[in-house]
Structure formats: structure tokens, C-alpha cells
Amino acid sequence: MSLVVQDARLRILAARIVAQQRWPYASSVLYSLKPVEVSHEELSTMGVDSGWRLYYSPKFVLEHPVEVIATALIHECLHCLFDHMSRFAGFSSRNKNANIFNICGDAHINKVIDDDGMPWGGFNPVRFESLTKYEVSSSKSTEANHELIQKFLKENQEEFDQNQDCGSAASGGNRDYELETDDSGNPATGEDSKDIIRDAVALDVEKHAKGQGKVPGELSRWAESRTRPSVDWRKRLATGVRGSLAKTNGLRDYSYKRPSRKQDAISSYDASIVLPSLSPSGNPSVGFLVDTSGSVSQEELSLFANELLGVLNAIGFGGKISVIGCDTRPSDVFFVKKAKDIPNLPLKGGGGTDLRPGLEKMRDEPRPSITVIATDGLTPWHELAPDPNSDYIGLITEESAISRVPRWIKPILIEGDKVD
Amino acid sequence: MKNKEEYKNTFLALAVCIEARIPVILWGPPGQGKTSVLNSIAEKQSRTMETLLASIREPQDFAGLPSVVNGRANLVAPDWAHRLSEDGNGILFTDEVNTAPPSVQAALLRVCLDRVAGDCELGEMTSVVAAANPPELAADGWDLAPPLANRFCHLQWQLPPEIVSQGLTGSWPDFELPEKLMDFDKVLEEEKAIVAGFISSRPELTTVIPDGSGEQGRAFPTPRSWEMVATLLAHAKCWNLSDGVMRFLVSGSIGQSAGIEFLNYRNNLDLPDPDMVLRGAESFSFPERADQTYVILAGAINLAERRAPDEDSWNSAGTLLERVVAAGHPDIAVASSKRWLSFRPEGASPNPELLSALVPLMKEAGLI
């Protein structure tokens, strides 16, 4: 072993110590990486494979000070934590490109690192600023950004001009320099262990944040999505509306109110058996109560309306929905068939929130079988459902208001989309 | 299921639930080979299997047909219930449970909980398996009512492409359970003690009813589902199954939030006692996983610090540091050695060989 390689290994280990002092909550993943040196021709920087072995070019490592190598180590750890490998394998796209996916993942990771103020020295990492022409942004997921770049390249007939290789942990596949899974000196970390380590890091991040320690925002969001997974509100709206509609839309549940039509067939064997029948159908109708006190933005409103009408369309509900706006006083009732009509309704309001008059108006006039309420949730509520025959679904934009929502409303918390 | 390994883990988790007689529900889109997998398990174990489609059943198919005999109402059980009851050791598979109307779900509750259909007892040894389409996929799917959801271990079931292509060109993979290695009753006592220990340290996780942001109609912690966790883990441990299988069993029973925290607690209990590590410093063998080595070393050094200025403990900690260096983790040793040097008893001095191994690294990292 030449002296250069020895020195490079020393620097990698030293960088790990520096990285561990910066982000003590990432210890579990930092120490799980097994450093393996490869020639500069094969890999010019640093990369991690699917078994969490860390490959590095000795030249790259010695060219930069230990603080910069520590930053690069944390960068590779984030590929592992965010599980870019499985996500690349799992997402479906007409035109998947490992290099582009790698770049998009890098841009997200480097934003976390920049926000934390870590040094990059003379190294020039991938940043969103260098990708502006593709219209990618930090508020979209790596998958979505990949699609945007592909779309741009196709429309403009261009080739992608940036190249980045962070190993298979960033985008799957196998590199020539990567070791066999069962390499005797450096065996791969199994899927099970990887999940356990991610969980341990997520819990350590939360513990650190609770102990008044500083944790980058993106990382705490990642930890929270792991320890408290939530379901996309669109899914939950769809489920809620389907369930409620099913109750009124056609024959849905059994009761002994009327005898079953099969009764005659059974009676010829044993007249003593009594069968229930499906209860008769009703006409479903949907009401949409909008909080116009300014707490729900115009943008959110059209988003909600779009989703609601989309769900209704998908289950074959062809009717109109009744829309009422309310700040402290209800507006007139509008009947709407297309989502794009909603922003044009005269629903302007302002000042103070009390949705109770709106709910009462809804109960008195259109009397819908489902009422969907879009609000931040900071309003007084009725103690009991205004209309016991209606199902209430609340789209709540303010997390702290969830606990105040009464039991007769099925609350759905609207959360931002996950980006990492 | 992302890949073959997850498929294997899910398959084995399903086998554990069937063996443990804990009701299990498979969530996934249609056409994922759920029925064929169950058929093959039933066939291999020579057990009767009855498959029912809950969505086209009526409440009385599960609760029994009311019939009046001599002025008394009986609930006459359908034929499938009698077949299972006669076998006594069969498998009941109900598909599409969440597209069944609420009254049918309510009737199913008693079958799953008490293994009773109408007036017919299916017997303690009957396994209950259910399948459901995710509500957003089903034509008119409902969330499972919480009381029913809480009685099941929930597993995700969607075949990964790897398995499908292997199945289409050759054979669908099948996994055998090994012989049970340990005494089940003893292991069950241990697992119950671990669960009890966890609950007393985190009493707020004893019962958590899902709120607005969580997944409704899925697993959540209650005293019943905690007991399920202990039973399932005891079975999995007797079979020496992997951590991945245990993860699915635990988060399938109490949900992911509580599951992650519980498993982390349980994994840390597996780590050796710091006192034992210090006493056996000469011969202690560190685990394969470097992150565990870090935790064990930090724990031992913590203990030595609490015993300061005890020279023996300080020296043992030094021996441990040497062994960590020898195992190829000098950086882990450095991370703890600063603390170790800070409580050096008077007259004691570190092994010069250890220092010569650590000093260049500490210099490189800018610590000295």
C-alpha cells in the first residue's frame, strides 16, 4: 500500500470525526459507511453503493481540506438516508436517467448542506441555481425535478451537459468499481440493517431537536415523515368522499326494515328464517363550504375544488355541487359543475371567522348528504352536527386547529408535499 | 414491497401471523397472487382453506341465519363455517373486506375476534386471513372501522417487478420456515417483559387513536395490539427470523410511529451491559455493525467516567479503545477518547501504542 493511499484513508477517517461532531445525530449512518479506496480514473470524487460502502478517490480526498471532505461525507450520508436508490428503482417514468436523478438528488442534499453553512472550499457542488433553465426547484421532489429536466431536454432537443456520480446509493445500478455484495473484507449492509439505521438516525434527530439542539429544517422534516408517516390528503379526501357517497348513492347497507327479495326462495324450505335486505337508495348531493375570512388562500381554494370535483367525477357523480362562502355571514348558494368556475364566484369575505351560520344555511337549504368544509380550522364549531343526516369532511390547513375539530367532522390535515 | 428481500420478509411475516393465529390483513391492489400464496401455504400444511368474498356476502353469512325453532331464535351457520369447525385447524380467507358494507364488516368482527360464525365455533386453531384493496383504489371502498382494524396485523402486499418476472419465466418464489429453535413459552415471557418495559417508559404510547393526519383504518397501539406484538415477536424469534420480518410484524400491529420507537428500544436492550463490557474488556468482541460498536464504546466510557477516579475502570476503557482501533475503527476510538482522557486518574497514563495510533488522526481532524 503506497503512502498516498494511507494518507487518504487517514483523511477520510478524520473527516468522519469532523462530520460526527457537526451532526452527532447522524453517527449511526456515518459509522455504517465502510471506506474503500478506488483509483481516480474509476471515480473522480466519492460515492456510496447499495451496500453502503464508501468509495473514494485518494487524489480527490487529498486535494481538499478535511472540513470539505467532512461535508462530502455528510452529502453521501444524505443519499443513504433519503433512500435515493430505492426511489430511483421505484418511480415510474418513460425516460429514466440515473445521471439526471443523481443531479436532482444532489441539488436537494446540497441545499440542506448550504442551509447549515458547511464549507465546500474549492469544490463546486451541484446547486439549484445552476439548473434554473430547467425550472427545477427545491420545493419539488427529486422525482418531479427529474421529469422537468427530461421534459426540457426533449422539447429543446438538448443533451444533458452535467455529470455526477455518487454511486449506486444515489441512483441504483452497479458501477465497475463497486465490490461484490458478499465481499469478505467489506460485506454490504443489508436492507434490514439500513432501515434500522435510518430509524435510529430519525429518532436521534428528534431527540436532539427536543433537547434544544439545532437541526436543519429539511432533516427534521425527513425524520418526522419517518417517525410519524402521514397519508397524502388527496388520498384521504378521496376515501372520505367515496365512503360517504356510498352510503347514499345506491343500495349500500343491510337492514331488517324490509324483507329480503330472497325471502321467498328461502321460505319454501323453512319459513322461520328472516333475511334483511339492502336499504333503498337516496339521491346524493355534495355541499362545499368555504372559509372566506382570508385564512384559505385563493390558490388553496382552487386546489381543493379541483381535487373535490376530480374525486366526484372519478366515481361517476355527475351532479352539481352547492358552494357557500362564509366569514361570519354566509354568502348566497352557488351551483357549480366545473372546478374552474369556483375562483370566479363572488365569495370575497374578510375579518373574523365563524362558520356556524354557513353550516346552518347549508343545512336549511341545499341539505347536502356530504358537506366538505375548507378552512384553517380557527372557528367556533357546533357541539353537535347541524344536520345529523349529513356527513362532514373538514379540509384543515392549520395543524394546531386539528385538536379543536369536533367529532362529527372527519378532519383531513392539508400538509405540504414531501421534498427530499 | 420494493424488492425481493421485502417480498420475502412480508411472506414470512404472513406465515408467522398464520402460525400465531393472529388475524392478518393484506393490503394491496387486485391481481397480486394473494390467494395463490395462501393456497400454497394451506396445502403445504395440509389445512382446509375457505375463501369468501366479503363484498358479495350478507351479514347473516357471518353472523348466522336467524331461524326460529321451538320458539327460540337460532343463528344457523353457513356450510363453510361447519367445514372449518370440523377441521379445527383450517384457514379462513376473506377477500375484499373493505368494500363490504358496514353491517357486513361488523358481522366479520366476531368471526375475527372470537372465531365464531353464527352458532358455530370455528375453534381456537383456525387462522383468519383477510385482504383489502386500498380505499382509494376500490370502487366504493371504506376505511376499516377502528375496532376491526385494531384486531388485525396489517401487511402491504404488492408484488415487486423482480418477483413477477421471475414468476412468469420460471417459478414463483416460496420460502420455507425453519424448525423452531427455542421454547416458545419462555420466549413469549421475555417479549412480554420487553413490551411492558417499553410501555412503562412511554406510557403515552399505550393507546393512541389515529387523528387527522395519520392513516385511518390501519394499525394503531392499544393494549390488545401491544399483546399481539409480543406474541408475534416471540414466534419470529423462535424461528430466528430477520429484523426486517420483525419490523413488518411490529408496524403492522401498532403502526409505524410507535413501531419505530419500540424496535429502537428493543434493539438497544440487545446491546451488552456496559459493566460487563468493562469487566471483560480484554476478550470482548465487538459486533459487525460499526454503529453498534460506537454505542457500546460510548456506553462503557460513560460508566468509567461515573466511576472516576477508579483506575481499573479507566484502564479497562483504555483497553477497549485499543481493541476498537485494532478492529479497524480508529475514528470511533477518537470520538470517545477525548472524554476518556478528560477523567484520567492521577498517576495513570495511556498506553503509548494507543496514543501513537490516535494522535495522527486527532491532528488530521484538527482536534489537537
Q: pLDDT band at B230, cuts 50/70/90?
A: very high
pLDDT of B54 > 50? The answer is yes
Nearest CA in chain A to B55: A252
Q: The whole model's pTM is what?
A: 0.81
Q: What percent of chain A has pLDDT over 70?
A: 91
Asked, for residue A259, whether it belongs to a domain, the answer is no
Instruction: Output the nine-digit C-alpha cell for B88.
Output: 379445527
Same domain, A210 and A66: yes
Same domain, A186 and A322: no
Put simply, the answer to whether A17 touches B290 (Cβ < 8 Å) is no
Q: pLDDT band at A2, cuts 50/70/90?
A: very low
Q: What is d(CA A292, CA A289) in angstroms, rounded to the nearest whole number?
A: 9
Arithmetic mean of pLDDT, B46-72: 86
pLDDT of A107 > 90? The answer is yes
| pLDDT, tens digit, 9 for 90 and up, residues A126-164 | 999 888 888 888 888 888 899 999 989 888 888 887 777
Residue A396 at interface with chain B, using a CB cutoff of 8 Å: yes
In this complex, which of A15, A196, A236 lies closest to B267 when CB atoms are compared?
A196
Q: What is d(CA B134, CA A235) in angstroms, rounded to the nearest whole number?
A: 10
The identity of residue A13, as a single letter, is L
Arithmetic mean of pLDDT, A404-410: 87
Same domain, A310 and A189: no
| pLDDT, tens digit, 9 for 90 and up, residues A22-33 | 999 999 999 999
Arithmetic mean of pLDDT, A12-38: 93
Instruction: Output the nine-digit C-alpha cell for A362.
Output: 347549508
Same domain, A221 and A296: no
Asked, for residue A257, whether it belongs to a domain, the answer is no
Q: What is d(CA A81, CA B82) in angstroms, rounded to the nearest whole number?
A: 52
Out of A68-72, A271-275, B62-66, give the one with best mean pLDDT.
Answer: A68-72
- A330 DSSP 8-state letter: B
Asked, for residue A261, whether it belongs to a domain, the answer is no
Total tally of structural domains belonging to chain A: 2
Residue A90 at interface with chain B, using a CB cutoff of 8 Å: yes
Same domain, A153 and A105: yes
Same domain, A85 and A195: yes
At A1 the pLDDT is: 39
Residue B5 at interface with chain A, using a CB cutoff of 8 Å: yes
Put simply, the answer to whether A32 touches B290 (Cβ < 8 Å) is yes
How does the average pLDDT of chain B come out, rounded?
A: 87
At B335 the pLDDT is: 87
How does the average pLDDT of chain A come out, rounded?
A: 84
DSSP-assigned letters across all residues of B246-284: HHHHHHHHH-HHHHHHHHHHHHHHTSPPHHHHHHTTTT-
Out of A2-6, A199-203, A278-282, give the one with best mean pLDDT.
Answer: A199-203
Asked, for residue A300, whether it belongs to a domain, the answer is yes
Asked, for residue A272, whether it belongs to a domain, the answer is no
Q: Which of A194, A227, A260 is the last residue of a domain?
A: A227
Q: Could you tell me the end-to-end alpha-carbon distance of chain A, in angstroms, rounded to an integer? A: 39
Q: pLDDT band at B316, cuts 50/70/90?
A: very high
The identity of residue A397, as a single letter, is T
Strand A46-48: give its sheet, edge to edge: A34-37, A53-56, A46-48
Q: Which of residues 286-305 of A touch B (CB under 8 A)?
A: none
Please tell me the least confidently modeled range out of A97-101, A364-368, B18-22.
A364-368
When comparing pLDDT for A121 and B109, which is higher?
A121
Asked, for residue A263, whether it belongs to a domain, the answer is no
Asked, for residue A264, whether it belongs to a domain, the answer is no
Put simply, the answer to whether B331 touches A14 (Cβ < 8 Å) is yes
Same domain, A237 and A367: yes
Out of A160-169, A179-188, B226-235, give the one with best mean pLDDT.
Answer: B226-235
Residue of A66, A203, A224, A254 to mutate for B, most B C-beta atoms under 10 A: A254
Q: What is d(CA B217, CA A410) in angstroms, rounded to the nearest whole number?
A: 13
Q: pLDDT band at B303, cuts 50/70/90?
A: very high
Q: pLDDT band at B16, cuts 50/70/90?
A: very high
* Residue among B1, B98, B83 nearest B42 (CA): B83
Arithmetic mean of pLDDT, B178-204: 89
DSSP-derived pairing of the beta strands B65-69 and A409-413: unpaired
Q: What is d(CA A116, CA A74) in angstroms, rounded to the nearest whole number?
A: 11
B364 CA: distance to closest CA in chain A (Å): 6
Same domain, A115 and A193: yes
Put simply, the answer to whether B67 touches A273 (Cβ < 8 Å) is yes
Query: What's the CATH code of the domain at A243?
Result: 3.40.50.410
Q: What is d(CA B216, CA A88) in angstroms, rounded to the nearest whole number?
A: 29
Which residues of A32-114 form beta strands (DSSP E)?
34-37, 46-48, 53-56
Arithmetic mean of pLDDT, B157-173: 81
Q: Cβ(A413)–Cβ(A402) under 8 Å? A: yes
Q: Cβ(A414)–Cβ(A237) under 8 Å? A: no
Asked, for residue A276, whether it belongs to a domain, the answer is no
B46 CA: distance to closest CA in chain A (Å): 32
Q: pLDDT band at B70, cuts 50/70/90?
A: confident
Same domain, A187 and A238: no
Same domain, A201 and A241: no
Range of A25's domain? 3-227
Arithmetic mean of pLDDT, B155-168: 84
Arithmetic mean of pLDDT, A291-319: 77
Nearest CA in chain B to A26: B291
When comparing pLDDT for A239 and A354, which is higher?
A354
Q: Which of residues 171-200 of A touch B (CB under 8 A)?
A: 187, 189-193, 195-197, 199-200
Q: pLDDT band at A5, cuts 50/70/90?
A: low
Residue B280 at interface with chain A, using a CB cutoff of 8 Å: no
Same domain, A210 and A242: no
At A418 the pLDDT is: 60
pLDDT of B139 > 80? The answer is no
Write down the residue that cell numbers 471506506 correspond to. A35
Same domain, A115 and A164: yes
When comparing pLDDT for A297 and A58, which is higher?
A58
